[in-house]
């Protein structure tokens, strides 16, 4: 018989998007004695970075009737379901997709009931016509959403323990009955639980796991985590250690990133534009308009040799970005067609450091600064300029509007990598977020949510449904806690 230092009905591991919602629902709706364990000194995880979260047929969509874009409509649940399934090339798991879609509207109502105020429901990339208008944006975005939820969880009676990493699952007769953790003083703590919900945010900050599982294993070191550095896959490993199965565990949500910069940096915004992109040999390799879908773009970049790419532009293009803004936006981080007024200063400062941006008065000078073979790079630039002059790209068929020539000195290069928003495949779960073992059976007492749960995606993060990761985090946390409460009360 396992012994414990303390006992709860429900233990939730991780206090980000999924975990905080799970703790709130467990304590409030389920009336469960709930503990929320957080490894970091503060709560919130990646939830505080998010802009919008996805939902279908929500009260906010219904109240607005039409999105603020001509020719668009708010998607039905069926459209949402089909988009996930189709986008994944039928690799997503129907029961997980069904839950994510069907339960999403109630998630919005719950957040509203807690005082969250939604400002708009829209797409993310204004120039991206294939997106569904699923992203719900609230006042204060993810930061406010977390404040509202964590307060509600505390008010409902959940005990929140920060600096308290979970280390292992405690199993008795095949059922999860608790968690071995470490308290804020580093002391071992055994917590009994009738159910455990894993919400550790995946393994985006664990380079060994990226090397082991991700599709970019060879370039894992070049990937740059943007997710919290505490998202190291502990919870995934805890489940694997007791026989959990995986589902598309290697899938990552990536975004192009200027190394060392954050998503809001103007240098990053410039490097993400569909200018000339070359690999580390100085050769062009893709239709750069892939930038329109940041997940695809970053996948392409992360697959290059060394996991790096260089965005090349001349002074005229820099001036264009300063005066007219981006050709491609990135939500609130890089606003579409909003003048990048500080670009020259930021770029010059970054070039002076010479680590991820370079500036030179000649093409050959730029090649030497970055480390390309000057002759190869000169040939690439000459060919690209020819294509720009003709308004035709016979190599990759890029839209002629984005064939900006490289003619006017000085010339610039920005090194881009795959930035990790999070890992988005991991443990195999059913539609109630119960973890499934390698024997195909549910592991009793164990749930996985948010980025710890696989099933919504195939081999790529779906940007066609904006707000997907945090929408799924919220809804999966809710569904898991509700199911746990039902089981515990029986």
Ligand X SMILES: Cc1cc2nc3c(=O)[nH]c(=O)nc-3n(C[C@H](O)[C@H](O)[C@H](O)COP(=O)(O)OP(=O)(O)OC[C@H]3O[C@@H](n4cnc5c(N)ncnc54)[C@H](O)[C@@H]3O)c2cc1C
Positions touching ligand X (CB under 6 A) are: 13-19, 37-40, 45-47, 49-53, 165-166, 199-201, 226-228, 230-231, 234-235, 263, 421-422, 450-451, 467-471, 473
Nearest to 124 by CA among 112, 115, 133, 111: 133
Cα distance between residue 188 and residue 192, in whole Å: 13
Residue among 53 and 194 whose Cβ is closer to ligand X? 53
Residue closer to ligand X, measured from CB, 292 or 322:
292
Tokens (6 digits) for 130: 């294939």
Minimum gap (Å) between residue 184 Cβ and ligand X: 12
- The candidate with the shortest Cα–Cα distance to 19, out of 181, 193, 160, is 160
Whole-Å CA distances, 55 to 59, 78, 81, 262: 10, 12, 11, 27
Does 410 sit behind a cis peptide bond, omega within 30 degrees of 0 on the bond before it?
Answer: yes
Residue 277 CB, nearest approach to ligand X (Å): 22
What is the total residue count of the chain?
490
CB of 22 to ligand X, least distance (A): 9
What's the Cα-to-Cα distance from 454 to each of 89, 103, 159, 293, 471, rounded to whole Å?
A: 15, 17, 28, 22, 14
Least distance to ligand X, CB of residue 362, Å: 37
Task: Measure CA 143 to chain center.
Answer: 16
Phi/psi at 402 (5° precision): -105, 10
Shortest spacing between CB 142 and ligand X, in angstroms: 7
Structure tokens at 111: 């957040």
Of residues 282 and 455, the one with the C-beta less far from ligand X: 455
| Position closest to ligand X via CB | 16
State how far the Cα of 257 lies from the Cα of 161, in Å rounded to an integer. 33
* Nearest residue (CB) to ligand X, 40 versus 222: 40
In the complex, least distance from residue 140 CB atom to ligand X, rounded to whole angstroms:
13
Q: Which CB, 231 or 380, lies closer to ligand X?
A: 231
- The residue (of 50 and 317) whose beta carbon lies closer to ligand X is 50
Nearer to ligand X, 263 or 313 (CB): 263
State the nearest-atom distance from the C-beta of 348 to ligand X, in Å: 26
CB of 148 to ligand X, least distance (A): 15
List Cα–Cα distances, 246 to 139, 243, 424, in angstroms.
36, 10, 12
Closer Cβ to ligand X, 138 or 385, answer by number: 138
- How deeply is 257 buried, as exposed, middle or buried, from its count of CB atoms within 10 A (0-12, 13-18, 19+)? buried
Separation between Cα atoms, residue 13 and residue 360, nearest integer Å: 50
């Amino acid at each position: 018989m396992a012994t414990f230092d303390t006992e709860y009905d429900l233990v939730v591991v991780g206090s980000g998007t999924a975990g905080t919602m799970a703790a709130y629902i467990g304590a409030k709706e389920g009336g469960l004695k709930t503990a929320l364990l957080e490894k970091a000194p503060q709560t919130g995880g990646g939830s505080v970075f998010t802009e919008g979260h996805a939902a279908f047929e929500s009260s906010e969509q219904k109240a607005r009737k039409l999105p603020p874009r001509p020719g668009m409509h708010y998607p039905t649940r069926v459209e949402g379901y089909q988009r996930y399934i189709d986008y994944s090339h039928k690799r997503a798991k129907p029961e997980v997709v069904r839950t994510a879609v069907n339960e999403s509207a109630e998630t919005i109502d719950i957040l509203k009931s807690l005082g969250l105020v939604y400002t708009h429901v829209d797409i993310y990339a204004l120039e991206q016509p294939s997106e569904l208008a699923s992203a719900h944006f609230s006042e204060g975005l993810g930061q406010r959403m977390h404040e509202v939820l964590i307060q509600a969880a505390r008010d409902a009676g959940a005990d929140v323990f920060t600096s308290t990493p979970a280390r292992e699952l405690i199993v008795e007769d095949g059922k999860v009955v608790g968690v071995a953790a470490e308290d804020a003083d580093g002391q071992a703590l055994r917590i009994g639980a009738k159910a455990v919900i894993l919400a550790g945010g995946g393994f985006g900050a664990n380079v060994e796991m990226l090397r082991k599982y991700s599709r970019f294993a060879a370039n894992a070191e070049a990937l740059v985590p943007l997710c919290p550095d505490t998202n190291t896959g502990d919870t995934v490993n805890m489940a694997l250690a007791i026989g959990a199965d995986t589902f598309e565990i290697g899938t990552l949500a990536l975004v192009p990133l200027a190394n060392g910069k954050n998503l809001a940096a103007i240098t990053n915004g410039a490097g993400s534009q569909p200018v000339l992109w070359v690999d580390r040999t100085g050769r062009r390799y893709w239709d750069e308009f892939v930038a329109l879908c940041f997940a695809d773009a970053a996948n392409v970049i992360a697959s290059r040799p060394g996991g790096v790419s260089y965005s090349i532009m001349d002074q005229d293009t820099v001036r264009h970005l300063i005066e007219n803004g981006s050709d491609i936006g990135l939500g609130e981080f890089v606003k579409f067609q909003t003048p990048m007024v500080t670009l020259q200063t930021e770029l010059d400062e970054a070039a002076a450091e010479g680590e991820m941006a370079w500036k030179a008065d000649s093409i050959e000078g730029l090649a030497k600064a970055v480390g390309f073979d000057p002759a190869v790079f000169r040939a690439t630039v000459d060919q690209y300029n020819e294509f720009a002059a003709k308004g035709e790209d016979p190599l990759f068929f890029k839209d002629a509007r984005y064939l900006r020539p490289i003619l006017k000195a000085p010339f610039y290069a920005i090194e881009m990598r795959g930035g990790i928003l999070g890992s988005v495949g991991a443990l195999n779960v059913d539609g109630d977020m119960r973890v499934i073992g390698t024997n195909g059976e549910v592991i009793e007492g164990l749930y996985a949510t948010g980025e710890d749960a696989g099933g919504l995606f195939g081999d790529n993060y779906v940007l066609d449904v904006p707000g997907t990761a945090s929408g799924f985090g919220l809804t999966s946390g809710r569904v898991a806690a509700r199911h746990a409460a039902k089981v515990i009360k029986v």
